[in-house]
């Protein structure tokens, strides 16, 4: 596999490919959620695709990791929850690229982007079965907290999620 470049997504040119990646992520996550907890999590692929536009604003960011051929290996996004507070969303690395520290690269770039957006705090939610992701977040200074205002996780499902936050350096 060729080296990867982490860069802002070009939604005008890559909306279909990024949409496919986000649907792949949600399909994987809902399958894992069902296996871990025996529950069906609500998902809507059309909503995932339509929601990409929200990451093309000045108060958000969408980064992709691409190889030399242009294949998407992963992605992650930020959205503003309130003045000074951003939320990490949709961070996903395709299985073929896992174990190569791509999640670390994406997270570090997203933390830089959070500072560029003027955030002082970054929050995230992750399903409790995502132990590797939680380890990565903790290694970057995230601490667990209660569910926060603005989370997309329905109240009935919040017990299956972990919520984290940390200060943003330079924010």
Mind listing the pLDDT tens digit for each residue in 14-39?
988 999 988 888 888 888 888 888 88
Domain annotation for the chain: domains and CATH numbers: 4-123 (3.40.630.30)
> Would you say the pTM of this structure is higher than 0.85?
yes
From the list 47, 60, 84, 43, the residue with the least C-alpha distance to 9 is: 60
Mean pLDDT of the 7-16 span: 91
pLDDT tens column, 52-79: 888 888 999 999 999 988 899 999 999 9
Largest CA distance in the chain: 43
Beta strands in 51-104 (DSSP E): 60-67, 72-82, 85-93
């Amino acid at each position: 596999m060729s080296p990867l470049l982490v860069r802002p997504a070009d939604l005008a040119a890559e909306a279909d490919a990024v949409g496919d990646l986000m649907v792949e992520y949600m399909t994987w996550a809902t399958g894992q959620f069902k296996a871990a907890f025996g529950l069906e999590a609500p998902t809507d692929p059309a909503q995932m695709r339509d929601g990409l536009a929200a990451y093309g604003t000045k108060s958000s960011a969408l980064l992709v990791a691409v190889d030399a051929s242009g294949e998407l290996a992963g992605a992650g996004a930020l959205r503003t929850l309130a003045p000074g507070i951003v939320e990490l969303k949709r961070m996903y690395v395709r299985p073929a690229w896992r174990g190569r520290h791509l999640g670390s690269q994406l997270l570090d770039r997203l933390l830089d982007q959070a500072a560029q957006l003027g955030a002082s705090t970054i929050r995230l939610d992750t399903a409790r079965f995502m132990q590797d992701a939680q380890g990565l977040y903790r290694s970057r200074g995230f601490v667990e907290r209660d569910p926060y205002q603005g989370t997309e996780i329905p109240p009935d499902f919040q017990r299956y999620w972990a919520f984290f936050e940390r200060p943003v350096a330079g924010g």
